[in-house]
């Protein structure tokens, strides 16, 4: 790859997951816990995946490079650490990160502020200056959302109000030939969070078509005279959105800002003038009539993004291959399309667990799925091709569990803590109610049937019951006829299985997030519980049973702990639309 093609932006965002645990037997860990890579794992259940992706600035490429599982939201301090760690690793492989791109979530903003410090919009990693950019489609939505509760005073005695936009739409709906064909009544139902998050809805409501409609209806005296200020504001936002979100190298005659940034383009002049205006904007609450400008961050987001893009252009336009700058290289479309592809994995898994997310992500990456197939997706196709399918890396990870678990750098320390903190409580078989023993006896027989019991009379006398007792009622009733085909375990095996189960559950409740679970537990169990004296001295049947029981009991723990999926109202409505479209 040529040097100019190595310039890239670092995108990061979170996708919501449902709670759920799954035991990865080969890797000996349970997925579903918070996992921050080199920062370690915690005992908190994960419900979000934080994904990092790089996207080419000059050449249209993209690549998923890291993902982490978080409980609710990652802390700003941890996010700052991960950003720096990833940028350092990207620099080591020869990529040049020139910008970070994210939305204006509270954690993202706090992490960016920590990175930049006293600098207004940039930070340094290894003496390389990296600017911070906020995703322009998110800024557009935030601007529209602010208008729902506030009027925006964007110039002296000039205020923009959303009621003018709504009134213009309402009047337009009565016409035979409509000026706003892209908008529908449900697009103004903001009680539906799914509608509220749609970029195309915000773009249509703050478009040049809307501005023209407001101007027309104001001139016809259908709207009040001050609606003309809202039209002016909408024109301004539409131009700003076009200027920061266009990729075409060809200049469009009727929308000159809807093109890539190049020498002689009017973008820089427009941005310079707008930067002065943005600092004077005020947001007035519609009902309280108070100044709430400090409660909204989209104005600062526009300013930061404009300054960052201006700096990048001044830095790159003198380099070979940068006669123009594709500004869509600095939005989150590839990441949003990745999330959409993951949610469409299989039939439609709109709210996957950690395990399902990982499986879907591997499928999407290996098959180089560049965009989702859903026509109702929230983003346009990004036009980027994946750099690599990472198939060789995935094979290496799957076949080498020791390398996979290397992010946990404190295994020995964790083992010592577990050994110190855990005090296994040994239970007696006689303490169990008779009905509880029935299932235990059946499972104990299944375990014996699935291990290689030595051909030793002493082992058989210890492991198998010499007679069918009241504790084997379930097992005997499971026989298909009078012939004894099932295995009847001794009370010693039942007691061992019961204690393995109870001790393992106790261990997993406090240490289930750790790696190397089987090896760690078996060592602890053998140190705290002794059955060796009661077993054959020539054959290690105790370890045979322990080795066979531990994996399937961990699976049982995950199944018992698994929570029922909860799907948001927006996802439910989305699924209803999908079902209707298929009928």
333-339 mean pLDDT: 90
The token pair that represents 443 in the structure block: 């499972």
- Using 50, 70 and 90 to split pLDDT, how confident is the model at 406? very low
176-214 pLDDT, tens digit each: 899 999 999 999 998 877 888 889 999 999 999 999 999
- Using 50, 70 and 90 to split pLDDT, how confident is the model at 426? confident
Position 526 pLDDT exceeds 90: no
Query: Who contacts 214 (Cβ-Cβ below 8 Å, separation ≥6)?
Result: 164, 165, 168, 223, 227, 228, 230, 231, 234
The CB density around residue 124, as the number of other CB atoms within 10 Å, is 12
pLDDT of residue 282: 96
Torsion of CA 246, 252, 256, 261, to 10 degrees: 40
| 392 or 303, higher pLDDT | 303
371-398 mean pLDDT: 61
Lowest mean pLDDT among 93-107, 215-229, 404-418: 404-418
Q: d(Cα 196, Cα 144) in Å, to the nearest integer? A: 9
Strand-pair category, 122-125 with 96-102 = unpaired
Written in H, E and C, the secondary structure of 441-477 is: HHHHHHHHHCCCCCCCHHHHHHHECCCCCHHHHHHHH
Hey, is 319 helix, strand or coil?
coil
321 conformational bin, left if phi > 0, alpha if psi -120 to 50, beta if neither:
left
Measured CA to CA in angstroms, residue 232 lies from 165, 383, 548, 565 at distances of 12, 33, 73, 46
Query: Who contacts 564 (Cβ-Cβ below 8 Å, separation ≥6)?
Result: none
396-408 mean pLDDT: 42
- Residue 175 parent element (H or E): none
230-257 mean pLDDT: 86
- Percent of the chain at pLDDT exceeding 70: 85
- Using 50, 70 and 90 to split pLDDT, how confident is the model at 390? low
37-41 mean pLDDT: 93
- DSSP-assigned states of every residue in 203-238: HHHTSHHHHHHHHHHHHTTSS-TTHHHHHHHHHHHH
- Using 50, 70 and 90 to split pLDDT, how confident is the model at 373? low
551-567 pLDDT, tens digit each: 999 999 998 887 544 44
pLDDT of residue 427: 73
Per this entry, what is the length of the chain? 583
pLDDT of residue 402: 38
3-state helix, strand, coil in the chain (%, to 5): 50, 15, 35
Which of 72, 37, 360 lies closest to 352, judged by CA? 360
Which of 20, 101, 86, 89 lies closest to 56, judged by CA? 101
455-504 pLDDT, tens digit each: 888 888 889 998 999 999 999 999 888 888 899 999 999 999 999 999 99
- Using 50, 70 and 90 to split pLDDT, how confident is the model at 381? low
Position 231 pLDDT exceeds 60: yes
Residue 158, φ and ψ in degrees, nearest 5: -125, 120
pLDDT of residue 456: 85
Give this prediction's pTM.
0.85
Q: d(Cα 487, Cα 465) in Å, to the nearest integer? A: 9
- Residue 242 parent element (H or E): helix 227-244
Query: Who contacts 546 (Cβ-Cβ below 8 Å, separation ≥6)?
Result: 496, 500, 522, 525, 526
Strand-pair category, 33-35 with 41-45 = antiparallel
């Amino acid at each position: 790859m040529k040097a100019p093609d190595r310039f890239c932006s670092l995108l990061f965002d979170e996708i919501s997951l449902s709670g759920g645990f799954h035991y990865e037997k080969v890797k000996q860990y349970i997925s579903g816990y918070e996992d921050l890579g080199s920062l370690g794992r915690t005992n908190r259940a994960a419900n979000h995946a934080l994904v990092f992706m790089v996207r080419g600035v000059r050449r249209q490429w993209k690549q998923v490079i890291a993902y982490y599982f978080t409980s609710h939201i990652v802390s700003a301090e941890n996010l700052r650490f991960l950003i720096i760690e990833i940028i350092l690793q990207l620099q080591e492989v020869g990529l040049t990160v020139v910008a970070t791109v994210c939305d204006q979530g509270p954690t993202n903003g706090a992490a960016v502020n920590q990175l930049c410090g006293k600098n207004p919009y940039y930070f340094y990693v290894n003496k390389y200056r990296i600017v911070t950019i906020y995703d322009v489609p998110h800024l557009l939505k935030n601007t529209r959302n602010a208008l729902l509760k506030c009027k925006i005073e964007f110039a002296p005695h000039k205020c923009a109000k959303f009621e003018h936009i709504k009134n213009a739409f309402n009047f337009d709906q009565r016409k035979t030939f409509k000026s706003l064909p892209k908008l529908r009544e449900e697009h103004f139902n903001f009680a539906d969070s799914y509608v509220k998050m749609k970029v195309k809805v915000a773009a249509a409501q703050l478009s040049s078509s809307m501005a023209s409609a407001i101007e027309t209806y104001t001139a016809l005296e259908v709207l009040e005279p001050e609606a003309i200020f809202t039209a002016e504001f909408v024109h301004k936002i539409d131009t700003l959105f076009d200027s920061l979100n266009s990729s075409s190298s060809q200049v469009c005659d009727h929308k000159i800002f809807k093109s890539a940034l190049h020498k002689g383009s009017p973008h820089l002049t427009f941005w310079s003038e707008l930067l002065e205006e943005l600092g004077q904007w005020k947001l007035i609450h519609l009902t309280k009539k108070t100044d709430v400008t400090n409660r909204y961050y989209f104005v600062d987001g526009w300013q930061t993004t404009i300054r960052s893009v201006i700096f990048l252009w001044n830095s790159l336009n003198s380099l070979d291959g940068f006669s123009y700058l594709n500004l869509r290289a600095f939005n989150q479309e590839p990441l949003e399309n990745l999330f959409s592809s993951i949610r469409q994995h299989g039939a439609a898994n709109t709210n996957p667990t950690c395990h399902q997310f990982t499986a879907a992500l591997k499928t999407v990456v290996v098959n180089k799925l560049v965009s989702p197939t859903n026509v109702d997706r929230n983003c346009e196709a990004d036009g980027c091709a994946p750099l690599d399918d990472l198939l060789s890396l995935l094979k290496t990870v799957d076949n080498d569990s020791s390398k996979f678990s290397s992010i946990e750098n404190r295994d020995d320390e964790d083992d010592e803590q577990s050994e110190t903190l855990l005090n296994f409580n040994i239970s007696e078989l006689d303490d169990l109610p008779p009905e509880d023993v029935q299932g235990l006896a059946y499972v104990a027989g299944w375990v014996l049937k699935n291990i290689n019991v030595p051909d030793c009379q002493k082992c058989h006398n210890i492991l198998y019951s010499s007679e069918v007792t009241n504790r084997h009622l379930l097992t005997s009733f499971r026989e298909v006829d009078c012939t004894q085909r099932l295995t009847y375990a001794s009370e010693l095996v039942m007691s061992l299985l019961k204690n393995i189960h109870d001790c393992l559950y106790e261990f997993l409740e406090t240490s289930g997030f750790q790696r190397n679970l089987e090896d760690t537990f078996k060592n602890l169990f053998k140190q705290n519980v002794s059955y060796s004296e009661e077993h054959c001295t020539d054959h290690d049947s105790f370890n045979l049973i322990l080795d066979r029981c531990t994996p399937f009991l961990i699976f049982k723990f995950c199944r018992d702990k698994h929570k029922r999926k909860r799907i948001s109202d927006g996802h439910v409505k989305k699924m209803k639309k999908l079902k209707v479209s298929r009928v």
